[in-house]
């Protein structure tokens, strides 16, 4: 029996959240982004895309293409809250959920069909619940592998779904450009095109040995993918991961510990929450920073005791941060938990501090489950948000001339769908 894999991806996630929360933005060309001269587009609503605006485009270029677009500064806490709700819907259908970002995930629903019906019915059910409960559009692909499910969801956008039965995989892939195959970047695509291989079907028809001569080990691999084989990777939920992490690439480079520490704090708390949801604890913490010239630094420390407490992860990460070259401009920070094991062990009987921390985290998790992850956060993390109400309204301007630049925020997991 073939697997049934879903890829569910939110449509223009950040922009859709903004349009949901402000009715005046619905049906309007919306750009979620930063400073008009230094920032990048984090998300582009479907109404602004006919102008050529896309995610990751420099804001300056986007505003030349669409000078009348409504520019909205990002509200990361709102996106995280919506993401929590969406992933809870995924997990109500199957425990085999592999989060890829805030707004997309793979789901293995092979065993779920006994309860929820066919893969198509499950995708329809999930998208309907997201629309009703979170009030956001989502697209889905249903196939027997991750690669094909991902391609199918891309082709179903916006707000649609595409079903590819296992037996139709080769026929579905054949007319698509070779760039759709994982592992085929611009250079490899250029080599293939020079050999007259423009579509996936062209690659499937070529002898894998000749592709090996042309591309080395990559040749037989992409041939297997092109013929509907070669992608048997399982859907790996958090509880089976070897590490869990959170990282953010800043819209504008940051400098110095005071500017970076709140982001590290927020990342540590996100990792702690993911650990608790997966029933895991971590014995090691890794901090990484990437400088503006793309130089990467990583530091690692081992904890005295395994933990799922974001506060403990935060304290360890701050010690690591102290030894890094923070006088230089930093474009990315990340916190990850390693040496994972099953949590839930009994806390030391007389360690009242650990007992209090566990009870506090249980309360905070219940609050987050009910009201969203932004309901209760430390003051320095709250300061990363853009506020709400009048403050947000003051920042919503049309065009670059009247844009009030927000403070730098993450563009990781951008709402590009």
Please state the residue numbers annotated as binding site for Mg(2+): 9, 103
- Over its C-alpha atoms, the chain yields an Rg (Å, rounded) of 23
Please tell me what DSSP assigns to residue 238. G
Q: Which of 104, 247, 251, 413 is catalytic?
A: 104
Structure tokens at 150: 């991902």
362: which 2 tokens?
């249980």
| 189 labelled catalytic | no
> Is the CB of residue 153 less than 8 Å from the CB of residue 7?
yes
Residue whose pair of structure tokens reads 């920042």 in the numeric block: 395
CA 167-169-175 angle, to 5 degrees, is: 135
Nearest to 43 by CA among 133, 137, 128, 123: 137
Burial class (CB within 10 angstroms; exposed 0-12, middle 13-18, buried 19+) of 138: buried
User: To which H or E segment does residue 367 belong?
Assistant: helix 352-371
φ, ψ for residue 206 (rounded to 5)?
Answer: -85, 150
- φ and ψ at residue 148, rounded to 5 degrees: -70, -35
**Cα–Cα distance, 377 to 382 (Å, whole number):** 6
Nearest Cα to 111, choosing from 92, 123, 131, 95?
95
How far is Cα 165 from Cα 177, in angstroms, rounded to an integer? 20
Helix (H) or strand (E) holding 310: helix 310-322
Work out the burial of residue 23: count CB atoms within 10 Å of its CB; fewer than 13 is exposed, 13-18 middle, 19 or more buried.
exposed
The catalytic residues are 104
């Amino acid at each position: 029996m073939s697997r049934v894999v879903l890829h569910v991806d939110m449509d223009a996630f950040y922009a859709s959240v903004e349009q949901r929360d402000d009715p005046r933005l619905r049906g309007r060309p919306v750009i979620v982004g930063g400073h008009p001269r230094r920032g990048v587009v984090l998300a582009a609503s479907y109404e602004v895309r006919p102008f050529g605006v896309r995610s990751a485009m420099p804001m300056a270029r986007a505003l030349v293409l669409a000078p009348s677009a409504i520019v909205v500064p990002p509200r990361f806490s709102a996106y995280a809250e919506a993401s929590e709700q969406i992933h809870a819907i995924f997990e109500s259908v199957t425990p085999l959920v592999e989060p890829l970002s805030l707004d997309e995930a793979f789901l293995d629903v092979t065993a779920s069909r006994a309860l929820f019906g066919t893969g198509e019915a499950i995708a329809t059910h999930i998208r309907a619940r997201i629309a009703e409960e979170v009030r956001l559009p989502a697209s889905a692909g249903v196939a027997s592998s991750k690669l094909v499910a991902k391609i199918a969801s891309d082709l179903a956008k916006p707000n649609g779904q595409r079903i590819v039965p296992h037996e139709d995989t080769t026929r579905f892939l054949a007319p698509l450009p070779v760039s759709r195959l994982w592992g085929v970047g611009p250079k490899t695509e250029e080599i293939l095109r020079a050999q007259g291989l423009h579509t996936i079907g062209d690659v499937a028809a070529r002898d894998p040995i000749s592709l090996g001569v042309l591309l080395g080990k990559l040749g037989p691999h992409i041939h297997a993918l092109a013929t509907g084989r070669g992608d048997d990777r399982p859907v790996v939920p958090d509880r089976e991961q070897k590490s869990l992490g959170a990282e953010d690439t800043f819209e504008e480079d940051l400098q110095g510990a005071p500017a970076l520490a709140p982001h590290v704090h927020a990342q540590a708390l996100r990792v702690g929450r993911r650990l608790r949801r997966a029933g895991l604890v971590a014995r090691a913490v890794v901090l990484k920073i990437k400088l503006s010239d793309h130089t990467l630094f990583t530091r690692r420390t081992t904890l005295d005791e395994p933990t799922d407490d974001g506060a403990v992860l935060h304290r360890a990460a701050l010690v690591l941060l102290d030894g890094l070259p923070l006088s230089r401009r930093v474009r990315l920070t990340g916190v990850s938990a390693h040496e994972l094991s099953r949590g839930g062990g009994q806390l030391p009987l007389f360690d009242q501090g650990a007992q209090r921390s566990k009870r506090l985290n249980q309360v905070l998790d219940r609050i987050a489950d009910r009201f969203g992850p932004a309901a209760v956060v430390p003051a320095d993390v709250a300061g990363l948000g853009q506020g709400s109400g009048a403050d947000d309204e003051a920042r919503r301007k049309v065009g670059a001339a009247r844009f009030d630049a927000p403070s730098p925020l993450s563009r990781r997991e951008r709402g590009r769908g």
